[in-house]
Amino acid sequence: MARDKGRRGGGRAGAAARRGTAALQQMPWRIPQNIDRPIEPLTEEGVAAIHDGAMRILEEIGIVFLNPEALEILKQAGCRVEGDLVRMDRAFVMEMVGKAPDQFTITPRNPDRTIPIGGNNLLFGNVSSPPNYWDLDLGRKVAGNREQCRNLLKLTQYFNCIHFAGGYPVEPVDIHASVRHLDVLYDKLTLTDKAMHAYSLGKERVEDVMEMVRIAGGLTDEEFEATPRMYTNINSTSPLKHDYPMIDGCLRLVRRGQAVVVTPFTLAGAMAPVTMAGAVAQSLAEALCAIALFQYVRPGTPCAIGTFTSNVDMKSGAPAFGTPEYMRATQMTGQMARHYGLPMRSSGVCAANVPDGQAMWETSNSLWAAVQSGTNMVYHAAGWLEGGLIASPEKFIMDCEVLQQIQRYMQPEICATGPDEIAFDAVREVGNEGHFFGIQHTQDRYATAFYQPYLSDWRNYEAWEAAGAVWTPERANKIYKDILQEFTPPPLDDALHEELKDFVARRKSEGGAPTDF
């Protein structure tokens, strides 16, 4: 019986997918492969020029590392260190970057959810870190809380098109900052079984999260360290600076064999040159010097290079997202990431404040740019509004419909050209009259031939009107509530669950983490 279940549904992930079918019919868990050739806007000379720009920044201007340990290590490594300013030669940078693997895996507590990062793998994660929350019922922006965070984590778990858990899907500011990481990681590890993230915000948080991930996975220290079980994502402080806690957190993860994503946030015209090639070159310099450090500390440590290069609205100074310039910067960075042999991270983003048409064209632009750039990890792929300041469950539901379509788009069978797909006999059978609905060739394939939406309404206007004339965000609102209602957490061994609770209780009794950041 148990074997039967496993065979039909593909183990635990399959069981979760089956549980999901009541609220909506979604696509199964899979690791999408990007089968398209990337869009490459740079010539060979362009690649060389941006590389040279990044290298000259590292050689001639230098990067500030506000982390004494990093300064010490880089001095040992032969870099020129003056105060907290580090200059490194391109030979050193390229030698170190060359040690980074072009692909690695992260294995969460459910091994069926293991994700391969690099190559053609195209993975999506939930929105991370908005301090605020918006939904249709509230109709306004409010500070995030734990319940909202838990709800968004349930969506993260529910959707098979979401492959990894990012940072907090909304910042639960109702939990004191000293123990917030304990409560949210407890929620994350009990509500989801997907790959986990730790914020690099001080020693205690990073160590606590690593310990909680180890406990929930039922792992010994050796097992935890044998292969990446989680990751962190850090930003530089553009221009040309790495802060203490970000580097500290990475070093802690690196030394225990965990994965690191380095994502400078370079807004062209504000923290980076107004020209996109300059902003990309600066972003690369900021990322590569950190990756070089991590590779020096532990050669072969799994690293991905991130991009968050967009532009500001020159009228207001507000950041813009999903713009033409954003798309090209993402594609250029993808081209450079392949040049360096590094897995690539980008994002699903928009500037819109509510889940309307603007939100979807900006998000579509950014998601297609991720696809076209050969991105491996798409951060913030579901739920993001207002330049990342708002998380929204309606937007989450809408974005997952787009993500599913991208995943379906990447299935090579759509473009298969064997005799069954050319279907000459079917065309002959129907001839110059009649239709294809009833013929066997159609009957054999109709159930799986096309993408089946769960949110898009394809009815004609009259049928749509008769059903209440419901616009997309209202439909999404209903779906997210249906999902929450039927949500069942993924299985977690009772003993491990108890151990996790005990750890949280003990660390809380010890006061959690300092809050002087």
258-277: contacts with a copy of itself (CB under 8 A): 268-277
Shortest spacing between CB 221 and a copy of itself, in angstroms: 38
Please identify, using beta-carbon distances, which residue of 106 and 354 lies nearer to a copy of itself. 354
Stretch 287-326 residues interacting with a copy of itself (CB under 8 A): 311-320, 323-325
Please identify, using beta-carbon distances, which residue of 145 and 178 lies nearer to a copy of itself. 145
Calculate the CA 285 to chain-centre distance. 22
Confirm or reject binding of residue 389 to a copy of itself (CB under 8 A): yes
C-alpha span between 66 and 142 (Å, rounded): 34
- 390 bridge partner residues: 132, 385
Confirm or reject binding of residue 131 to a copy of itself (CB under 8 A): no
Confirm or reject binding of residue 120 to a copy of itself (CB under 8 A): no
Applying CB under 8 A, which of residues 4, 415, 495, 509 lies at the interface with a copy of itself?
Answer: 415
Please identify, using beta-carbon distances, which residue of 256 and 475 lies nearer to a copy of itself. 475
Please identify, using beta-carbon distances, which residue of 51 and 214 lies nearer to a copy of itself. 51
Number of residues this chain uses to bind a copy of itself (CB under 8 A): 131
Applying CB under 8 A, which of residues 184, 402, 479, 483 lies at the interface with a copy of itself?
Answer: 402
56 within 8 A of 390, measured Cβ to Cβ: no
Please tell me whether residue 363 adopts helix, strand or coil conformation. helix
Please tell me whether residue 63 adopts helix, strand or coil conformation. strand
Please identify, using beta-carbon distances, which residue of 93 and 254 lies nearer to a copy of itself. 93
Confirm or reject binding of residue 78 to a copy of itself (CB under 8 A): no
Confirm or reject binding of residue 71 to a copy of itself (CB under 8 A): no
Confirm or reject binding of residue 442 to a copy of itself (CB under 8 A): yes
C-alpha span between 474 and 485 (Å, rounded): 17
Comparing C-alpha atoms, which of 306, 337, 308 is closest to residue 322? 308
H or E element that contains 296:
helix 276-297
Applying CB under 8 A, which of residues 9, 10, 53, 489 lies at the interface with a copy of itself?
Answer: 53
Confirm or reject binding of residue 173 to a copy of itself (CB under 8 A): no
Could you tell me which residues come within 8 angstroms of residue 139 by beta carbon, excluding any fewer than 6 positions away? Answer: none
One character per residue 204-233, x = contact with a copy of itself (rule: CB under 8 A): ------------------------------
Confirm or reject binding of residue 348 to a copy of itself (CB under 8 A): no
Stretch 229-248 residues interacting with a copy of itself (CB under 8 A): 239-241
Length of the chain: 517
Sequential DSSP letters for 41-52 = ---HHHHHHHHH
Please identify, using beta-carbon distances, which residue of 195 and 271 lies nearer to a copy of itself. 271
Confirm or reject binding of residue 57 to a copy of itself (CB under 8 A): yes
Residue 364 corresponds to which amino acid?
A: S
Confirm or reject binding of residue 40 to a copy of itself (CB under 8 A): yes
Confirm or reject binding of residue 368 to a copy of itself (CB under 8 A): yes
Stretch 467-496 residues interacting with a copy of itself (CB under 8 A): 469, 471-473, 476
C-alpha span between 53 and 136 (Å, rounded): 46
Confirm or reject binding of residue 441 to a copy of itself (CB under 8 A): yes
- 345 bridge partner residues: 306, 377
Applying CB under 8 A, which of residues 121, 152, 386, 513 lies at the interface with a copy of itself?
Answer: 386
Number of Cβ within a 10 Å radius of residue 461: 8
Comparing C-alpha atoms, which of 227, 228, 349, 332 is closest to residue 284? 332
Structure tokens belonging to residue 310: 């967009």
Q: Which residues of 162-172 are buried (b: 16+ CB within 10 A; e: fewer)?
A: bbbbbbbbbbb
| CA 263 vs CA 104, 286, 287, 351, 417: distances in Å | 18, 8, 6, 19, 40
Which range touches a copy of itself (CB under 8 A), out of 72-80, 96-104, 289-297, 464-472? 464-472
C-alpha span between 215 and 3 (Å, rounded): 27
Confirm or reject binding of residue 30 to a copy of itself (CB under 8 A): no
